Amino acid sequence: MFPMKMRSYNYFLRSSQALLKEDKQDELVSALFAASREWSVELHFNKGLAGAPPEAIAAAKNTAMNPAVIDSFALAIIAGGAQKLPGVPGHEPDLKEARKDARYIAKSMQALRRVVPSAGAYVSKSSFFELNWQIAFWGENYARLKAVKTKYDPDAWFSVHQGVGTEA
């Protein structure tokens, strides 16, 4: 028995510092407003590294995290609610309701992706349904990470859904 997770997105607004410039602010506000008409949108300003000290930027560049975090001023979170457990009386998921919510959540994220098409995701809280997960989760780090995975785990003993090297 596994919990059913609702669709959720959380993205670093890559190149987002540029969205704070006067000539881009209307575009950002319009995208956030449009996204909020579909689903709630949270902006976590403590997650991006825009304006961080040089040593923090250098340290982040030396990790597997998507480099989008370096230029981001916020992490946008658009997510569904509580987990439900199939087979647990009184806690079964309502699939019709979950699918409806997933459509609204996806529409909300699409509004933000219009202004930040190359957003990067915070992998530990990312969408189970992300189609372009290699780039969203790890950006240009993915090729290097896949080479390491292939070298040290060629038989893919250590695998998770949307983990490095799990395309097959």
The two tokens of residue 97 are 């309701």
pLDDT tier, 83 (very low <50, low <70, confident <90, very high otherwise): low
The two tokens of residue 155 are 């038989």
Closest CA to 48 of 74, 28, 66: 74
Question: What number is the average pLDDT over the span 67-93?
Answer: 80
The two tokens of residue 15 are 């190149």
Bridge partners (DSSP) of residue 43 are 76
Radius of gyration of the chain from Cα atoms?
A: 18
Closest CA to 102 of 119, 122, 67, 127: 127
> Do the beta carbons of residue 86 and residue 93 sit within 8 Å?
yes
Question: What number is the average pLDDT over the span 64-87?
Answer: 81
> How does pLDDT run across 5-50, given as a tens digit for each residue?
445 566 666 557 888 999 999 999 999 999 999 999 988 888 888 8
> Do the beta carbons of residue 128 and residue 5 sit within 8 Å?
yes
Q: What is the average pLDDT value for the chain, to the nearest integer?
A: 84
Say how far apart CA 159 and CA 165 lie, in whole Å: 8
pLDDT tier, 122 (very low <50, low <70, confident <90, very high otherwise): confident
pLDDT tier, 114 (very low <50, low <70, confident <90, very high otherwise): very high
Choice between 96 and 147, residue whose per-residue pLDDT is larger: 147
